[in-house]
Amino acid sequence: MPGEPDPGRPTSASGRGGRGGRGAQGAQALRHGASRASRAVGRASRAGARRARAWTAWGGAGETGLSKAIELHFVNLAGDAAVTVSLAGTVFAMPTDEARGEVARFLLLTMAPFVLLAPFVGPLLDRFRHGRRWAIGTTLAVRAFLCWVLAEALASDSAWLFPAALGCLVASKAYSITRSSAVPRLLPPHYTLVQANSRNAFAGVVGMAVGGGLAGAAAKVGPEWSLRLAFVIFVVATVLAIRLPARVDSSVGERDLDDTLPLPLGVPATGRRTLRQRVRGQVGALPAGLRAALVASVGTRMLVGFLTLFLTFLMRRHPLPDLSPTLVLALALGAAGLGNAVATLFGRSLGTRRPEAIVAAALVADLVAALLTAVFYSLWTLILLGLVTGLGVQLSRVGTDALVQRDVPEVMRTRVFAWCETVLQMAWVLGGAIGIALPLVPELGFGVATALLAVCLALSVRIRVVARRPAQA
């Protein structure tokens, strides 16, 4: 009958049920696909982690504990990258003149104590050799605390922003020094400092990429969240530092540098010496080739600090025509990172071949690139300068490490390594301070950088010439 439903035709309810069934099946298929994808990503991540751990443990590094130091450096650089991403658009967001003054003031207030205490870092480590792991862990814990303070300062626009930011810088430099004193204790048999530091540097480059990516995602919510991510990273790094092998604290075979190498003329061998005499004695006691390489490395490290701060403010005041200042800064500093990575990859093969020539070539290349930038200031010269700066600073470090390995006896290598790292960290600060103090004129700024590199080159050559005179006589 017309009023009765046809049993062969589905009702509207059953039709909706059919469509609902297909929708439920689609949702279930989507859930299954997402689950399979997440499992695949998890398997890939675990496989990648296993391969990474196998790489860090290769060549006996797992047995001696060097692999743990490499993993610690990876985590540390990931945290540093997160802090950099967080502060990129906040610390330098105020007007240029005001920002330069604030950065200079707090750089002085925070770095002056560090510079004054730097000559005592090596002796302090020698007196507390059994606490190197805790010293490294302390620098990381301090950074974790400061990252939390920074996050709160950003959220509330607190005056603690600059002190905490530059305090992170100080703690980062202190970490580099304390870690450098521990690495020689973890070398596997037939392993050189060049090889160890090349692997550490490569792990650091990867860590910066991972940390920067994670921090960039967190910063989408707000810069304080990427700082909270850095807090978590540094907490993990603190635990990893404390779990380093016990041999990091070993002092077997170590002796004081002052008691091992002869002192230069004019420095009393006995009795109580002043700080100036002590520092002069430490510098003069180093082999001439290492002193010359250290002076050259000071030049390359100063250029890094100068380029980082001078270019940051220069792009805000005098951007290149028709180019975004952020883009120019990213390209120049990205080129520096690329140069550092390339030097890291090839540093192992270059590190044992005439390290003096490697360090000298790195300084000369930096000088030429700075001169070209001063004369032909443009985007391409800035990118070239960034690339050469990254190459130079890493190659000079590789060469200096090789000279320490070759020319310094094992009984005092740890002390010399930490002392050299202290000098290079202060060189970075000096270069950054010069970059802040100079007028924001490209030709003037990069011309001054060229002159400083020329002075370092002349001093390095003079040290070599003076050292050869007695032999020729």
pLDDT for 275:
41
Per-residue H/E/C for 62-107: HHHCHHHHHHHHHHHHHHHHHHHHHHCCCCCCCCHHHHHHHHHHHH
| pLDDT class of 277 with cuts at 50, 70, 90 | very low
Higher-pLDDT residue of 375 and 411 is 375
| pLDDT class of 432 with cuts at 50, 70, 90 | confident
Average pLDDT over residues 427-448: 89
Higher-pLDDT residue of 89 and 434 is 434
Amino acid at 325: P
Phi, psi of 220 (to 5 degrees): -60, -30
pLDDT for 139:
86
Out of 236-250, 330-344, 345-359, least confident range: 345-359
Q: Are the C-beta atoms of 87 and 238 separated by less than 8 Å?
A: no
pLDDT for 23:
55
**Residue 13 to residue 11: CA distance in whole angstroms:** 5
Average pLDDT over residues 429-449: 90
| Closest to 264 in 3D by CA, of 251, 254, 275, 278 | 278
**From residue 21, how far is each of 9, 31, 56, 138, 445 by CA, in Å?**
18, 15, 52, 60, 71
**Size (the chain), residues:** 473
Q: Are the C-beta atoms of 92 and 99 separated by less than 8 Å?
A: yes
Q: Within its chain, how far is the Cα of 152 from the centroid?
A: 25
pLDDT for 16:
46
- Residue 31, pLDDT above cutoff 50: yes
pLDDT for 326:
78
Out of 97-101, 268-272, 375-379, least confident range: 268-272
pLDDT for 264:
41
**Residue 233 to residue 236: CA distance in whole angstroms:** 5
pLDDT for 175:
83
Q: What digits encode the pLDDT tens for the residues 295-318?
A: 999 999 999 989 988 888 888 778
Return the number of other C-beta atoms located less than 10 Å from residue 6's C-beta: 7
Residues 6 or more apart whose CB falls under 8 angstroms from that of 132 comprise 125, 178, 181, 182, 248, 249
Is this structure's pTM higher than 0.75? no
Terminal Cα distance for the chain, rounded: 128
Return the number of other C-beta atoms located less than 10 Å from residue 51's C-beta: 10
**Residue 173 to residue 424: CA distance in whole angstroms:** 10
What SS3 class is residue 157? Answer: coil
**Residue 8 to residue 244: CA distance in whole angstroms:** 77
| Closest to 355 in 3D by CA, of 412, 422, 404, 388 | 404
**Residue 51 to residue 316: CA distance in whole angstroms:** 43
**From residue 311, how far is each of 174, 267, 434, 453 by CA, in Å?**
25, 42, 12, 17
Give the max Cα distance, the chain.
128
pLDDT for 144:
93
Q: Which two tokens stand for residue 164?
A: 């905490």
Q: Which two tokens stand for residue 293?
A: 């390489």
What percent helix, strand, coil does the chain show, rounded to 5?
A: 85, 0, 15
- Residue 455, pLDDT above cutoff 80: yes
Tell me the residue ranges of DSSP E strands in 212-346. none
pLDDT for 276:
45
Mean pLDDT comparison of 51-55, 101-105, 197-201, 452-456, highest-scoring range: 452-456
- Residue 430, pLDDT above cutoff 60: yes
- Residue 193, pLDDT above cutoff 80: no
**From residue 29, how far is each of 41, 76, 91, 230 by CA, in Å?**
18, 41, 48, 38
Residues 6 or more apart whose CB falls under 8 angstroms from that of 382 comprise 311, 328, 331, 332, 373
Average pLDDT, the chain: 76
pLDDT for 399:
85
Higher-pLDDT residue of 349 and 155 is 155
Average pLDDT over residues 446-456: 96
Higher-pLDDT residue of 2 and 220 is 220
pLDDT for 115:
60
| pLDDT class of 260 with cuts at 50, 70, 90 | very low
**From residue 78, how far is each of 170, 191, 222 by CA, in Å?**
17, 26, 18
**Residue 100 to residue 227: CA distance in whole angstroms:** 23
Higher-pLDDT residue of 49 and 369 is 369
Number of H helices, E strands in the chain: 17, 0
pLDDT for 446:
95
Q: Report the sign of the C-alpha dihedral through residues 331, 334, 340, 341, in that order.
A: negative
Q: Are the C-beta atoms of 297 and 400 separated by less than 8 Å?
A: yes
Q: What digits encode the pLDDT tens for the residues 56-69?
A: 766 677 788 888 88
What SS3 class is residue 251? Answer: coil
Torsion of CA 102, 108, 109, 110, to 10 degrees: 100
